[in-house]
Chains A and B, each alone.
Chain A
Amino acid sequence: MNTKVMAVKPAKPAKPELPIPGRLPPANGTTILAAITLGLIAIGPLFLGDFASFVGARIAVTAIVGLSIVVVTGYTGQLSLMPYTFVGLGVFVAAHAITSWDWPFWFAAMLAAALSVPLSLLVGLVSVRLRGFYFAIATLTFASAMGATLFSWDFFTGGQKGLQVDRPVLGPIDLTSDRAFYLLTLVTVLALVWMVMGLRESRIGRAMTSVRENEIAAATMGVNVMKTKLVAFVVSGMIATVGGVFQGMLLQQVTRTPYQTPFVETLGVTLVILVVVGGMRSAWGPFIGAALIYVQLEVFRTALFLQYFIAAITAAAFIFVLLKLPGGVAGLIKHEAAQVRAAPLKNGIRVAIIILANVAVFYLIWELSQ
């Protein structure tokens, strides 16, 4: 009996085990090495001192705000130019809740995120019917309208002189030190990256990417296109607002200027560029983009002998990314990681040389400028 069954239906070769969603793939030497390296880089600023920690915290906060772009633009394909309106909301809610009302900061973050929902619903319900440029213009217009109302009210923004945001003290951890604050922002951004990655790998995330690829095909597969765009916009708004709370705590002294005139400041555009360089379709993209740009900024800041070329170098680097790396630096890392996994020795050495060359150039510029 058994042999007969075997004869009719030959045993199939064992299928490779499917990765279980949400679990890490089994670790091997390369991934462990990569994790250790990244971990060391992440905690590096703690040993480099307060200033490095401040830059680190700024990178982490920018990465939080950039994540909001990943959700709405990278995943869903709608270009929103109002992330800094949400950031402003978070900044001033933090100022009132933490400093005036003496709330713990996570409470302030939750309140800010909750307050962002009616705002994003208001904007979203009007603009999700629009696409592409029209959606972008609508968001910029709303940002401008909020600048003329919410951010012009003195009781909300503290007028010309702005408001104070205190950094909280959590038991023994005093977040007024830049090192402790850097650690807090790092943990927060990693948690948010983890959450956005989970979102991407879900029914909702796939609805978002389907909408980006082809709205009609998405609809015939059962995706409610309008609702998906709205969910993306609301989630994105909440993330940006939480980023704003941390932005407030980072700067400690906040004024309304950056949020009042979005047409002039174009912070939203700068953020989109940063996210595109890092990798718009990856949850890690904003983190990578922010790290690259702020580290580069600090290295070049003191390099006086380069000051006439910085803009040209930056432009060249940006055009290179646009032409050669459609997935941004995150896409490049993913690609190279696959190469290293395929041929660890050969490609591993090549990648190591590239990384070391880059670090060496940065170090050289740094040394020459001291």
Chain B
Amino acid sequence: MTLLRTEGLKLRFGGVVALDDVSISIDEGEIVGLLGPNGAGKTTLFNVISGLLKPESGRIELGGRNITRALPYERALAGLGRTFQHIKLFGSHTVEENLLAAQHRHLSSSTLAAMLRLPSWRRDEVEARRRVDAVLELINLERYRHHRPAELSYGTLRFVELAAVLSLQPRLLLLDEPASGIAQREAEALGPLLREIRDVLGCTIFLIEHDMPLLLSVSERVYALDFGQVIAEGEPDEVTADDRVLSSYLGRTRRDDVAAR
């Protein structure tokens, strides 16, 4: 079953074409990679899918539902989770609170219930903490539960951010360079971890990654993007052998006038 489908997404920043007729389709349970040189439009595509940027034309469907006009929080409630190239965690929250804060999709107790500490509030809180336990155990972060982001290394924060977005229990997980800034050893562990996340939580993963061995080993299918266009799609081996993909990385012709990202 198709989980994410985009049709003819188009977006320009001034004179720069950031996305040009991007149509992709991702099935439920797949791990799909997105590759392309700097400025190809990968993060822009993520921003459009998660609603932070509005496309000029085109259509986005999540689980058969048209979400082209939905606000970012509505997409999150519909099951779309994402991480950022530059980590965005809540600085004054502990790791546990960061994970709790991501659970709006699953909690429902009202303002009044919280102020009067009614049973519905207590049920919500207990359930939320159980989910935190499960995610911390999966990502192996239990020992950092009460730490604040400022006390942790950048590599650990990458995993905390992943844990936070997982406690949203997304149906579709968009990861923007999950391995950037983390140690080689941790990057090597990331591949198996992403597969485990898919298998255990059943969420579909769409990731941008510049670490080619990681991207190619973890992805079942890959899209290649250049100048905002999909230039290749298929299994990792096919795509990396594609002439246009190779030239997009090696032989640049009109690179200098592209300032988009």
Which A residues contact B (CB, under 8 angstroms)? 18, 20-22, 195-196, 198-199, 201-207, 209-210, 212-214, 216-225, 231, 235, 281
Contact = CB atoms under 8 A, between A and B. Distances in A.
Given A202-B114, A219-B76, A220-B81, 4 more contacts: A21-B122, A198-B115, A206-B93, A209-B90
Consensus secondary structure, chain B interface:
helix
Contacts of A195: 115-116
Contacts of B84: 217
17 contacts: A21-B122, A21-B125, A199-B114, A202-B113, A206-B100, A209-B93, A210-B90, A210-B93, A213-B90, A216-B52, A216-B88, A219-B76, A221-B76, A222-B77, A222-B102, A223-B101, A224-B71
A198 B117 contact: yes
Interface residues of B, number: 44
With a 10 A CB-CB cut-off, give which of A196, A209, A221, A225 has the most chain B CB atoms: A221
Interface of B: 50, 52, 71-73, 76-77, 81-82, 84, 88-93, 97, 100-105, 107-111, 113-117, 121-122, 124-126, 128-129, 133, 164-165, 168
B114 A220 contact: no
A217 B76 contact: no
Contacts of A22: 117, 121-122, 125
B124 A203 contact: yes
Contacts of A218: 73, 90, 101
Contacts of A222: 73, 76-77, 102, 104-105, 168
B109 A202 contact: yes
A203 B111 CA distance: 8
A58 B164 CA distance: 43
Consensus secondary structure, chain A interface:
helix
A224 to B, nearest CB: 5
Contacts of B77: 222
Contacts of A212: 92
A219 B75 CA distance: 9
A213 B121 contact: no
Given A21-B122, A203-B109, A217 B88 contact: yes
A195 B118 CA distance: 11
Contacts of B71: 219, 224
Nearest to A327: B92
Contacts of A18: 129, 133
